[in-house]
Amino acid sequence: MGLADVTGVELVESPPLVSRADPHNLPFFDGVFDFVFTAHFAEALFPSRFAAEMERVVRVGGACVVVVEECGGERVEGVKGSFGRSGFVDVRNVSLIGLKMTRIIMRNDGSQTA
């Protein structure tokens, strides 16, 4: 994929590549990543908080990518609505580990919505 440096976080540590962290309170400085990805957004206790943390740690202009069980319409709008500082880029049905999923791409444009 052309990624030179990757940092993985999950609720359960899987050394050496994945460290334990709460996705609702990520242990990173603001704007340190170019790209943030999750396939666990649907399991978030507080989706808006999870999205806000993704936006906080991705640089302005960086991408937040969310993959959820295959869906459309209202569900996609719900995910998009969780991101207050990002603009919608694309939605597409994809296959991930043999499952039918929907990929939603948001770009952090640095704006702030109330």
Say whether domain 29-108 belongs to CATH 3.40.50.1980: no
What's the gap between Cα 15 and its chain centre? 21
Q: How far apart are the first and last CA of the chain?
A: 35
For tokens 């499952």, the residue is: 99
Cα 33 from Cα 87, distance rounded (Å) = 17
pLDDT of residue 1: 58
Contacts of 78 (CB under 8 A, 6+ apart): 47
Cross-strand partners of 14 = 18
Query: Binning pLDDT at 50, 70 and 90, where does residue 38 land?
Result: very high
Rounded to two decimals, what is the model's pTM? 0.88
Residue 113: pLDDT above 80?
Answer: no
pLDDT of residue 110: 82
Own/partner contacts of 77-81, CB < 8 Å, gap of 24 or more, are 78/47, 79/41, 79/47, 79/104, 80/104, 80/106
pLDDT of residue 57: 95
Q: What is the DSSP string of 54-111?
A: HHHHEEEEEEEEEEEES--HHHHHHHHHH-SSEEEEEEEEEEETTEEEEEEEEEE---
